[in-house]
């Protein structure tokens, strides 16, 4: 079962981002595998067998000068999961680069809390390293557009203030002021609202 799961993980990281959440949930049970995990793995394999037509696609139709990075971040409040999706985009370009689904180590009491934890993961692990890389690859400094679908979270990230989140730095190991500096102090990083239907990180 473990060999099958790891093979699925390899394919999910390469070309089937929709499988990341399910594989990640099963991987946390490797040391305590039981018959329920066998049934979950069987259901996952059945889903893969019935969805061969789902493929990862990208297209590039712009010169390098018009390209930018777009970073999507989303959180499943009930499942305490951070979803991240990074793509190279332009007026006629959308090329997927990276996606991940990571279990949150803290318990959130509201959707904005979970969203901020996900935003912190997205910026630290994907957004900022990608800026360093693509500044070297492209002929001009690249910009990063951070896409968030929760308006309350956007307001907190812009201002760094929320009276109901005074406990946040201690309980979640996330400094809201740290994330705010990127949207206020760095010209190459911008915070934008996207509709939930267009939230690519909602895996």
Residues of the chain with confidence (pLDDT) below 70: 77-79, 107, 109, 160-178, 185, 203
What is the per-residue pLDDT for 23? Answer: 92
What is the per-residue pLDDT for 92? Answer: 96
What is the per-residue pLDDT for 87? Answer: 95
Q: pTM for the complete prediction?
A: 0.82
What is the per-residue pLDDT for 167? Answer: 60
What is the per-residue pLDDT for 77? Answer: 56
Tally Cβ neighbours within 10 Å of residue 186.
13
What is the per-residue pLDDT for 174? Answer: 62
What is the per-residue pLDDT for 14? Answer: 87
What is the per-residue pLDDT for 168? Answer: 58
């Amino acid at each position: 079962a473990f060999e099958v799961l790891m093979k699925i993980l390899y394919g999910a990281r390469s070309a089937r981002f929709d499988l990341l959440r399910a594989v990640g949930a099963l991987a946390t049970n490797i040391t305590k595998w039981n018959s329920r995990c066998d049934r979950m793995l069987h259901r996952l394999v059945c889903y893969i067998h019935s969805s061969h037509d789902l493929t990862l696609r990208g297209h590039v139709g712009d010169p390098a000068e018009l390209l930018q990075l777009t970073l999507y971040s989303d959180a499943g409040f009930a499942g305490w999961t951070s979803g991240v999706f990074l793509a190279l985009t332009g007026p006629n370009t959308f090329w997927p680069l990276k996606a991940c689904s990571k279990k949150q180590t803290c318990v959130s009491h509201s959707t904005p809390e979970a969203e901020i934890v996900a935003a912190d993961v997205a910026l630290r692990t994907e957004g900022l390293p990608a800026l360093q890389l693509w500044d070297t690859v492209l002929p001009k400094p690249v910009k990063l557009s951070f896409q968030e679908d929760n308006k309350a979270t956007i307001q907190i990230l812009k201002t760094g203030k929320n009276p109901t989140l005074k406990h946040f730095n201690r309980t979640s190991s996330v400094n809201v002021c740290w994330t705010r500096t990127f949207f206020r102090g760095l010209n190459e990083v911008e915070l934008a609202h996207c509709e939930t239907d267009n939230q690519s990180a909602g895996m």
